[in-house]
Amino acid sequence: MKKRTALIEIGKDGTFGVFSPDIKSVIFGEGNTVAEAKADFENSVREIIQFCQEDGVQDPDDLKNVTFVYKYDMPSFLNYYKYLNVTQFARYAGINPSLMRQYKQGQGASEKQIARIQDAIHRIGRELSSVKLI
């Protein structure tokens, strides 16, 4: 099974879109939530494959045996997970809070900063998954 990237982005209207820069076909999913946008995107992929099969056209090679790995751009991630306090998260990640707010507004981040932020996200995930409540 081939893995392809599908990017999740937030629109100016607050809705979410999903597309894949890794495939030749122009496929887009959208929705009011990330889950809706992913479902719409996956439905669009299925519809294209079904259309090709019904018309006797060969399936596009980039859609054969493919699975998508969903990734967020920085503003979409920070806006989707609104319960994250951007200032506190920035401190946890070792990044200047005002710089993190700029990332939330759409300013691009360097690969090094993206790696720091992603590492912090994964650390939080590991910490939270080990929590036991009484």
pLDDT tens figures, 32-57: 999 999 999 999 998 888 888 887 77
**Which domains occur in the chain, in start order?**
2-72 (3.30.160), 75-129 (no CATH)
pLDDT digits (tens, 9 = 90+) for 51-109: 888 877 776 777 878 889 999 988 889 988 888 899 999 999 999 999 999 999 889 89
**Those residues with Cβ within 8 angstroms of residue 99's Cβ, 6 or more apart along the chain or in another chain:** 90, 113
